[in-house]
Chains A and B, each alone.
Chain A
Amino acid sequence: MSINFSTSIGGAFFANPIFTASGCAGSGKELSHFFPLTSLGAVVTKSIMVKPRSGRATPRMAETPSGMLNSIGLQGPGIDLFLENDIPWLREQGARIIVSIAGESVEDYAVLARKLRNVVGISALEVNISCPNVENRGQVFACHPDTAAAAIAAVRRNIGGELPIIAKLSPDVTDITAIADSVIVAGADGLALINTLLGMVIDTTSMLPKLSQKTGGLSGPAIRPIAVRAIYQVRAAFPKIPIVGMGGVTNGRDAFELVLAGADAVSIGTATFGNPMAAMTIKNELEELCEARGFNSFSDAVSYAHRVEA
């Protein structure tokens, strides 16, 4: 294999385009039991908040056809313990690190950016403004151009330096390109597409919603066509913006589909739950597929589905 498989997102370089998806790999410790984290393009950590958070009550999960609903609710230790424990450990592994942050207010995003601005060893920041598992669905920043821009602008103002900001968007909007436009104007260097979609399962025996919080985020192969569509639309509107694509990627062919739509990197999420080696298998298959389709460089395959045949 001899193709150039590297990629870059907003000036950050990655040896290969396969990342973990936030919330689907913790901080990498468990997966490191199965493969070295250095073989990933990057570890995208579980979205971290200002304070420790218990997450939502159980049941938190419902399997659906080719997918699953989750309502974890951003369980985590909070930024201080995360910086004390998880980041040093990831640095020791030699992993490329993208830290994902989530806030309940614009001020939270500003606080998180200030805490992270001088941390050594981080390649980029993913700003999760689209988690559906918050108490009030109205708080999803990514559902409105103004709130999305406010969160990203708060990070931009406080992060300083050269750290690229990747805004993670929700597909649960009327026009995702309008949200993309507002966060790019606000200072996002790249986009992560897509977060989960809000769904519900009702247990027909108890005749109540299966999840304790009633709704949850839908992920897995069921949402892949939506990811492909969202990435394709945003790429068509913004030919230069770096995109980290995700949504139901299970094999190399799926990853290649997102790349053709416009993804500069591909995150592996729910597939890891079914197979801890998924990211490694997908990486190998994607590289083989790029080569088999005649690409000498991975970057040449990005957005290739947008070409106009003469």
Chain B
Amino acid sequence: MINSKAVQLSAEVVSNKKVGAYHHMVFAVGDMAASCRPGNFVAISVGGASSSLILRRAFAIYRASLRSDGMGLLELVIAPQGSGSKWLVAQEPGDRVDLIAPLGTSFGIPKEPINALLVGGGYGSAPLFSLAETLKSRGCRVDMVLGASTAGKIYAPLEGKRSVNSLTITTDDGSAGIAGRVSDVLPKLIAEHDVDVIYSCGPMAMLEAITLISQRTDVLHQCSVEESMACGIGVCMTCVLPVEGEDGVIRMTRSCVEGPVMDGNKVLWNTSREIPDGVWGK
């Protein structure tokens, strides 16, 4: 079911700064900021009133905060890849966008202090910094791994680094940190920090690789999946993936309302272009 806190509103752009390959954008959203949780996402109309781009764009929330003066701020990290995100990063302070938030599920926060490992791929690191802050405030140990193809695509702002015990960086081309993929460094980090839960966000292939490692090492894995969406509110049925439910039945499940945060062990990975056998209604 749709996030019960979701609201649609016209939000003013407060700031827009280029950071490496990405844009950090801040929007004024009022009280809604208080109902956003790490892992939730926002769906934004792009292109303006006469645009030929008719579908909303979904972005993970980087941070949401209700300031002491009552101003609610929503922060996003945007990779200008397609025409919609390029339009969005071209908006200037004072411009307004139509957005719906908070949407989707959020990362589960443990009641007891645990050892958490946060893993982000590319701009998939965006929701992990506010998650790190929340986990830290609950007394958890928080280690982080960020990976990308190249140094410019690592998003790791200074204030984000402060909330983690250690930060490991990997790049495919070796231009920053360790040359390789995040999955190359995970087994060692899991053992070293006695990790209880992995939280991840990034490309689906990365989430699949982490799931395999989490299964071998008997670590829980909450991941934020990335499927292309048309609506973000649960009506279009395009963002589905096969997920095993609590009743043991595997269904094509909407990542916008029953995700994006899911139990990695319940997802049937690498299943695009074919419905796997055993899925309900195949």
- Give residues in A with beta carbon < 8 Å to B: 23-26, 29-31, 33-34, 51-61, 63, 65-68, 70, 72, 75-78, 212, 220-221, 250, 270-277
B184–chain A nearest beta-carbon distance, Å: 27
The 6 closest A-B pairs by CB, nearest first: A52-B281, A61-B238, A273-B231, A54-B281, A212-B273, A53-B281
Enumerate B264-278 residues with CB–CB distance to A below 8 Å. 271-275
B45–chain A nearest beta-carbon distance, Å: 6
Enumerate B193-246 residues with CB–CB distance to A below 8 Å. 227-231, 233-241
Contact call B8/A34, Cβ cutoff below 8 A: yes
In angstroms, Cα B51 to Cα A65, docked, is 9
Partner of A54 from B229, B231, B280 at Cβ < 8 Å: B280
Contact call A221/B54, Cβ cutoff below 8 A: yes
Which among A23, A63, A77 has the greatest number of chain B C-beta atoms within 10 A? A63
Instruction: Given A68-B54, A273-B56, decide whether A61 and B280 contact each other with a Cβ distance below 8 A.
Output: no
Partner of B272 from A31, A58, A220 at Cβ < 8 Å: A58
Instruction: Given A30-B257, A275-B45, decide whether A60 and B237 contact each other with a Cβ distance below 8 A.
Output: yes
For chain B, which range describes its interface: under 10, 10 to 19, 20 to 34, or 35 or more residues? Answer: 35 or more
Which among B6, B234, B252 has the greatest number of chain A C-beta atoms within 10 A? B252
Contact call A30/B54, Cβ cutoff below 8 A: no
Q: Is B53 an interface residue when CB atoms closer than 8 A count as contact?
A: yes
Across the two chains, which residue of chain B brings its CB closest to A49?
A: B281
In angstroms, Cα B240 to Cα A72, docked, is 10
- Give residues in B with beta carbon < 8 Å to A: 1-2, 4, 6, 8, 45, 52-56, 98, 100, 227-231, 233-241, 251-252, 257, 271-275, 279-282
Contact call A58/B236, Cβ cutoff below 8 A: no
Contact call B241/A58, Cβ cutoff below 8 A: yes
Instruction: Given A26-B234, A31-B235, A72-B237, decide whether A273 and B55 contact each other with a Cβ distance below 8 A.
Output: yes
B209–chain A nearest beta-carbon distance, Å: 19
In angstroms, Cα B240 to Cα A31, docked, is 19
Across the two chains, which residue of chain A brings its CB closest to B83?
A: A63
Contact call B2/A33, Cβ cutoff below 8 A: yes
Across the two chains, which residue of chain B brings its CB closest to A222?
A: B52
B4–chain A nearest beta-carbon distance, Å: 8
A250–chain B nearest beta-carbon distance, Å: 8
Partner of B228 from A53, A54, A59 at Cβ < 8 Å: A59
Q: Give the chain B neighbours of A57 by CB distance below 8 A.
A: 271-275
B149–chain A nearest beta-carbon distance, Å: 16
Q: Give the chain B neighbours of A270 by CB distance below 8 A.
A: 54
B173–chain A nearest beta-carbon distance, Å: 20
Contact call B275/A56, Cβ cutoff below 8 A: yes
